[in-house]
């Protein structure tokens, strides 16, 4: 707890047009990290470490990575990762 965690995140644009994206990292609805804006052309891939700092210790905590497209308030894609945070 209190130490930064880094997870490598990859985004591949498989749409038929360029896009602008952002990533939010959340634990218990609290945003603990982010990346972006990320501009990708057609078929381009972005891969980078995204850091976040958990604020509470506990077993089996759900960390959510939410991918947003520019202009949308709802996530385009999401990923869940379960961590034991000491």
CATH of the domain at 22: 2.60.40.10
pLDDT at 82 over 90: yes
Bridge partners for 83 per DSSP:
61
Prediction pTM value:
0.90
Give the pLDDT of residue 57.
87
Torsion, Cα of 51, 57, 59, 61 (10° steps): -40
Q: What is the pLDDT of residues 14-58, one digit of tens each?
A: 999 999 999 999 998 899 999 999 999 999 999 999 999 998 888
Q: Is-contact 37 22, C-beta < 8 A?
A: yes
The whole-number pLDDT of residue 18 equals 97
* Angle at the Cα of 82 from the Cα atoms of 13 and 51, rounded to 5 degrees: 60
Q: Which two tokens stand for residue 21?
A: 């994206």
What integer pLDDT is reported at residue 1 of this predicted model? 63
Q: How many domains does the chain have?
A: 1
Tell me which residue range forms the domain holding 9.
5-85
């Amino acid at each position: 707890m209190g130490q930064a965690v880094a997870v490598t995140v990859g985004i591949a644009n498989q749409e038929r047009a360029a896009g602008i994206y952002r990533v939010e990292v959340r634990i218990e609805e609290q945003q603990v990290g982010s990346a972006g804006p990320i501009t990708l052309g057609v078929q381009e891939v972005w891969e980078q470490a995204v850091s976040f700092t958990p604020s509470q210790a506990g077993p089996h905590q759900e960390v959510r990575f939410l991918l947003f497209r520019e202009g949308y308030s709802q996530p385009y894609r999401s990923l869940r990762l379960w961590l034991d945070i000491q």
